[in-house]
């Protein structure tokens, strides 16, 4: 497949890139710093905080699918996920590319957004401790990050594109296993963590699975 990968130097983006190249895909990597990436790929330099539409259209045009590991790395970057995804969607519409898979986060199904101002109070996949203790602490600590991701998901739902959202819990740097669990429209019961490598594997795996289009998928090890 011909794939365009955004945030290809980040934790998940790098895993997507390496696995996609290893699988023999034709890859275009969109990055802010081209010095951080190399290999048998096409590199497009773009800052999604202020992206040039022509550069994004050049990166996406002709692709079979777009994959994004975009997310804020600090509180000051909150907003980059929804703004960058909006720019991707606009470029995809301009180039007639429809398939996009992005990474979000496990709590987002219960985070208010402009598109879903009154989400469920609890995720059906979460157990007692996650609902009553850990979930509250995590959402308080990462409020701005999660608001950004919730708005990003709004952008996709409104786009009419063939999108899939992957929602992992705590991310680790463990090796690829390929034996992770998934659940549609909810978190994985008892799923506390998952490796970035397995998230990337899942994102590539769902590309040609039509039943995943328009769905949010929980993932855990």
User: CA triplet 9, 14, 20: central angle to 5 degrees?
Assistant: 130
Residues of 158-184 as b/e, b for ≥16 C-beta within 10 angstroms?
Answer: ebebbbbbbbbbebbeeebeeebebbe
CATH number for the domain harbouring residue 200: 3.40.50.720
Contact between residue 4 and residue 30 where contact means Cβ atoms under 8 Å apart: yes
Query: Which pLDDT does position 48 carry in this prediction?
Result: 83
Percent of the chain at pLDDT > 70 equals 93
Query: Which pLDDT does position 139 carry in this prediction?
Result: 57
User: How many folded domains does the chain comprise?
Assistant: 1
CA atoms of 8 and 130, how far apart (whole Å):
31
Query: Which pLDDT does position 194 carry in this prediction?
Result: 98
| Phi, psi dihedral angles at 6 (to 5 degrees) | -100, 150
Select from 16, 35, 36, 102 the least CA-distant residue to 27. Answer: 16
Query: Which pLDDT does position 76 carry in this prediction?
Result: 72
CA atoms of 101 and 66, how far apart (whole Å):
6
Which domain covers residue 171, as residue numbers?
A: 2-220
Select from 73, 219, 91 the least CA-distant residue to 155. Answer: 91
Task: List the end-to-end C-alpha distance of the chain, in Å, as a whole number.
Answer: 27
Q: What is the mean pLDDT of each run of 10 residues along the chain (221 residues)?
A: 96 97 97 92 89 92 97 80 96 98 96 94 74 54 84 97 98 97 96 97 97 98 95
Beta bridge partners of 166: 103, 217
Query: Which pLDDT does position 138 carry in this prediction?
Result: 55
Q: At what angle do helices 11-22 and 196-205 cross, to 10 degrees?
A: 50
């Amino acid at each position: 497949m011909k794939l365009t990968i955004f945030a290809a130097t980040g934790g998940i983006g790098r895993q997507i890139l390496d696995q996609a190249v290893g699988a023999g895909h034709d890859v275009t990597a969109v990055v802010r710093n081209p010095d951080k990436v190399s290999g048998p790929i096409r590199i497009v330099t773009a800052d999604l905080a202020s992206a040039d539409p022509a550069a994004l259209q050049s990166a996406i045009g002709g692709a079979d699918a777009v994959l994004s590991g975009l997310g804020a790395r600090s509180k000051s970057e909150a907003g980059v996920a929804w703004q960058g995804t909006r720019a991707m969607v606009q470029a995809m519409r301009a180039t007639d590319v429809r398939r996009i898979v992005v990474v979000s986060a496990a709590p987002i199904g219960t985070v208010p957004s402009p598109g879903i101002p009154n989400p469920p109070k609890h995720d059906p996949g979460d157990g007692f401790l996650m609902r009553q203790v850990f979930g509250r602490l995590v959402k308080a600590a990462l409020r701005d990050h999660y608001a950004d991701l919730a708005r990003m998901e709004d952008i996709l739902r409104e786009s009419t594109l063939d999108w899939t959202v992957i929602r992992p819990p705590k991310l680790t740097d463990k090796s690829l296993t390929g034996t992770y669990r998934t659940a549609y429209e909810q978190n994985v019961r008892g799923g506390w963590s998952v490796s970035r490598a397995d998230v990337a594997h899942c994102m590539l795996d769902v590309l040609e699975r039509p039943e995943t289009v328009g769905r949010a998928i929980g993932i855990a090890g």
